[in-house]
Structure 1
Amino acid sequence: MKRDDRGESGATASGMGAGTSTRPGAVTSGAGDPAAVLAAARTVSVVHVLYGDPHGIARSKALSPGAFADALQDGVDFSPGPLVFDTGHAIAVSIDDTAFVGELRGAGDMVVVPDLGTWTVTESGGRRVGWVIGDERLRGGDPHPLSSRRVLHETVRRAARHGWTPVIGIELEFYLLRRLHEHYAGTPGGFGVQGLPEPVAVIDGGYQFNSTRLLEAALDLLTPLWEPLEALGARLRTVEHESGPGQLEITFAPQDALAAADTVLLLRTWLKCFTRPHGLHVSFMGLPAVDHGDPSGWHLHQSGLRADGTPWFAGGADGELGPEGRSYVAGLVRRAADFALLSNGTVNAYHRFAPEHALSPTRLGWAREDRGALIRVADGGAPHSVHAENRVGDPTANPYLYIAAQISSGVEGVVDALPLGPEARRPQQEGESLPRDLGEAVERFESSKAARELVGHDLHRALVELKRSEWNRFTEAAGEFHHGRVSEWEACEYSDEY
């Protein structure tokens, strides 16, 4: 999907909104055709205007087609609640007189400006719904300092200044589970506590890797999503059944960075929403609260193009990294621990980081065609397509921050001409350990100058406060974190929303 580079949504300050609004006009011609989008909006029942919160969860308002037309002039007013709540709906970022972002005081509105390049339509149960992702802004029109999408915009622009276009391939695992009751059967929670999740059961016995029998049973439920995703420029590559019971993996053809992040935000949202009427539940938890579960991951495939369209990862020899590719991989290794919070942002995500999971990374390092390494250098049998696969990510990760962290780490390595260390022969035993739980990841992120420079001072502080609140509530309720043992607290905190 082609994006312009004039800032979030390509917004310009020309023209004022209708009515009493004093905000800059929201529509840009570079991000999409407003007339075509408005015509399409008249064919749907509602339009979801959404954005990704700091945790990577989609937050939205459903607008009537008429209200959506107004939103193209004025943007959409949103409460900043999702920016200050931790995963358990506890207020973790101040909204009183001590608020470090002025417009958070009193929970004053922020504005979400639709990016018309993300417009797409879904149809389910005979109901057509429009969807458009937006960028969070302050009321005066500036990018919101707590916006995750802002970080990715800025990171891509920095890469472009060096003549590089990042290319991202998505490989995402998740569980398809069966709901045990037709209607809501959980228990409500409150501020700072989540109720019991809805009861679910596995849909198959699993542990028949790449089973055609198990895969075919799931495909009918996934097929309706392909067309709206393709409208975003997301081309499906593969779907397969993984080892766990009802555990699936989906991959997409390489995309530009922003399109890849938007794809993940919408894919996760749609899978959660559109499987529910079929009596099913989708879980992106790193280790869901089901018997005999196997951890899920989000493996991020990365390469890049020069300004003339030629790939810059590959070297002269087939299947070998070139100098820039080697430095990019070295950058990924160097910053992996600093940025672990952005790739693994929940308590539950750290169940993967244990020696018993031979194909999940636990230490810093790289290797060719070794799925136990943090960074796997692979070419898929096509030597000219050599690229880096970072296997660190959790499926729940904030897509904008996770991808931005990868690009920033790699580009920084290239700019610094960082030498790549020797290939790990025993990836699970060599190198510095990754953070083993969310508490360690918060501490590493808080002390990292690179992390602060990547996301900005305000978002850096907010993420530390949000995730420390989450970790503290876990330790108060459940005590120590035990790899491979999903606590009742984790089941309540993450099962429904993640």
Structure 2
Amino acid sequence: MEDDKQIIRNWIKEHQISEVEVLVPDLTGNARGKFIPAHQFLNDTYPKLPESILVQTVTGEYSDEHWDFVEPTDTDMLLKPDVSTLRVVPWAREPTAQLIHDCYTMDGKLHPLASRTILRKVLDAYAALGLKPVIAPEVEFYLVSRNTDADIELIPPIGRSGRRESARLSYSIDAVSEFEDFVEDMYEYADAQQLQVDTLIHENGAAQMEINFRHGDPMSLADQVFVFKRTVRETAFKHDMYATFMAKPMKIEPGSAMHIHQSLIDIKTGRNVFADENGKFTDTLLSYIAGLQRYTPELISLYAPNVNSYRRLAPDIAAPINLNWGFDNRTTAFRVPHSEPTATRVENRFPGADANPYLAIAASLASGLLGMQKQLQPSEPHSGTANEDDVEVARTLEEGLRNLRMTPELCDLFGDLFLRAYTAVKLDEFEEFNQVISSWEREHLLLQV
């Protein structure tokens, strides 16, 4: 740890940093923390934050069971920096650093309610088996006109042509060029933060974009998605727009996903264990897929964590609604793309763009891990259009939470305390949302029932 502190000191001095953002991903995957002057940050004490921030709802409220998960005294937790996450804040006025921290209890243990802790536990379980997961996220988002009235529906922003998009423009080069200034600044900010972003495409929705990340270490990629979401929002503000990662922000447009490609490397040999030396799919890959099929119904609320998330997971929408898998079949939930044997992987298409990247990645990897350990067998690969089959997953957040704690091995892996806290927080959000009377209800039920 002393070596890490010295690295941070040298880096801050080299970049003439005047302020440090101490960051902690909360339950929603958003940044909590504090701003600390650089000279104060460099003293020998660790920053502290109240542990209660880890169990706040998306509205900033607390569930009735709040004190069952944290100390009634609302004690502090210690924050220890991860030196690998040290980055500049390219949109800040003054030279500013950002640094993601792990959360520890006051007795020095990783905090059981922190998102990074959950992913770390899953990765440790893989390491114990001599395996290293490799992932590559694909993150979708919308650009929308500035909207300060929550009662007004979102609309696409005006591009450089002076017009708004109104057609399906998947993979359109010209449609991306409509927002050329935004794209250039986004890439500039991403480069300044050493984010491993790769391809940018225009997705199916109006002013909907997708960024693909290069494959790599799951914790590093979760950190990068966490930083990337802040980056895109800040870039959009600069250009008088909003960027949203809501799963289904507009009624007539498709939802936004965070697809997760994943493979496994044998630590000793460096070989991808999903394919043999002849390029044939292994039993390990099949069991991994079977694990995704088996545990997704119980973990769906980690892929679809908000009341809005389930508007995306609907029939006739470009998102999975059942547990089918297939070869290069984008209508299935779990897709095995055509690739070289060394790049053999499975893509989990369930997670929404609104998911906490640490928890979504942990859930996906945990499902595959348990599938391999139990040597589960998947269904036959689906060769047709999977979204014409029956719905097999929850359609509401409340339904998605019902079975979250039903499997002992998942409770062991994630920690029962975390799963209880997550359930309580998300049920509180669901009940708060349920109190809102929608315009549809007023339109169709006010005088007709």
Taking structure 2 as the reference length, what is the TM-score of the superposition?
0.89
Q: How large is the RMSD of aligned CA atoms in angstroms?
A: 2.6
Corresponding letter in the other structure for 1:89: G
Aligned to 2:413: 454
Match among 22, 26, 33 for residue 7 of structure 2: 33
Contact 2:189 2:231 in 1 (8 A): no
**Alpha-carbon deviations, 1:271-315, whole Å to 9, x = none?**
122321321111000111x46322111110000211121111123
Contact 1:173 1:298 in 2 (8 A): yes
Aligned to 2:33: 60
Match among 69, 80, 85 for residue 56 of structure 2: 85
Contact 1:84 1:94 in 2 (8 A): no
Structure 1 distance, partners of 2:91, 2:363, is 35
Corresponding letter in the other structure for 2:350: V
Aligned to 1:16: none
Corresponding letter in the other structure for 2:315: P
**Alpha-carbon deviations, 1:351-370, whole Å to 9, x = none?**
1222111x311011211111
The SS at the match of 1:434 is coil
Corresponding letter in the other structure for 2:376: L
User: Does the alignment pair 1:414 with 2:376?
Assistant: no
Aligned to 2:120: 153
**1:477/1:448 CA distance change after superposition, 3 Å:** farther
User: Does the alignment pair 1:385 with 2:343?
Assistant: yes
**1:229/1:161 CA distance change after superposition, 3 Å:** farther
Aligned to 1:140: 107
Contact 1:327 1:420 in 2 (8 A): yes
% of aligned pairs identical?
26
Aligned to 1:423: 381
- Per-residue deviation, 1:467: 0.6
Match among 19, 25, 30 for residue 46 of structure 1: 19
Match among 85, 99, 102 for residue 118 of structure 1: 85
Structure 1 distance, partners of 2:144, 2:330, is 26
Aligned to 2:170: 209
The SS at the match of 2:89 is strand
Contact 2:289 2:371 in 1 (8 A): yes
Taking structure 1 as the reference length, what is the TM-score of the superposition?
0.81
Corresponding letter in the other structure for 2:17: V
Contact 2:136 2:214 in 1 (8 A): yes
Structure 2 distance, partners of 1:231, 1:303, is 28
**1:141/1:330 CA distance change after superposition, 3 Å:** same
- Per-residue deviation, 1:416: 2.0
Structure 1 distance, partners of 2:6, 2:185, is 24
Structure 1 distance, partners of 2:276, 2:42, is 50
Corresponding letter in the other structure for 1:330: A
The SS at the match of 1:250 is strand
Match among 168, 173, 178 for residue 140 of structure 2: 173
Corresponding letter in the other structure for 1:55: T
**1:126/1:78 CA distance change after superposition, 3 Å:** closer
Aligned to 1:74: 45
Structure 2 distance, partners of 1:344, 1:145, is 21
Aligned to 2:244: 283
The SS at the match of 2:228 is helix
Aligned to 2:68: 100
Structure 2 distance, partners of 1:125, 1:258, is 25
**Alpha-carbon deviations, 1:431-480, whole Å to 9, x = none?**
77011111110112143334322321211110010011011112222489
Corresponding letter in the other structure for 2:297: A
**1:455/1:336 CA distance change after superposition, 3 Å:** same
The SS at the match of 1:107 is coil
The SS at the match of 1:329 is helix
- Per-residue deviation, 1:232: 6.5
**Alpha-carbon deviations, 1:260-279, whole Å to 9, x = none?**
11011111112122321321
Structure 2 distance, partners of 1:105, 1:480, is 40
The SS at the match of 1:166 is strand
Mapping of 1:329-478 within 5 angstroms? 329-357=289-317, 359-380=318-339, 382-426=340-384, 427-430=386-389, 433-478=392-437
Structure 2 distance, partners of 1:471, 1:481, is 18
**1:197/1:56 CA distance change after superposition, 3 Å:** farther
Corresponding letter in the other structure for 1:264: V
The SS at the match of 1:207 is coil
Aligned to 2:265: 305
**1:435/1:481 CA distance change after superposition, 3 Å:** farther
Match among 255, 263, 268 for residue 216 of structure 2: 255
Aligned to 2:161: none
**1:37/1:149 CA distance change after superposition, 3 Å:** same
Contact 2:90 2:192 in 1 (8 A): no
Contact 2:123 2:133 in 1 (8 A): yes
Structure 1 distance, partners of 2:57, 2:146, is 26
**1:224/1:93 CA distance change after superposition, 3 Å:** farther
**Alpha-carbon deviations, 1:169-199, whole Å to 9, x = none?**
010100011216xxxx45xxxxxxxxx4798
The SS at the match of 1:176 is strand
Structure 2 distance, partners of 1:284, 1:31, is 34
- Per-residue deviation, 1:106: 2.9
Corresponding letter in the other structure for 1:338: E
Structure 2 distance, partners of 1:402, 1:163, is 22
Aligned to 1:9: none
**1:125/1:256 CA distance change after superposition, 3 Å:** closer
Contact 1:338 1:451 in 2 (8 A): no
Mapping of 1:265-280 within 5 angstroms? 265-280=226-241
Contact 2:185 2:235 in 1 (8 A): no
| Uncovered stretches (5+) of structure 1, i.e. residues with no partner | 1-26, 187-195, 483-498
| Uncovered stretches (5+) of structure 2, i.e. residues with no partner | 158-163, 442-449
**1:378/1:350 CA distance change after superposition, 3 Å:** same
Structure 2 distance, partners of 1:406, 1:262, is 16
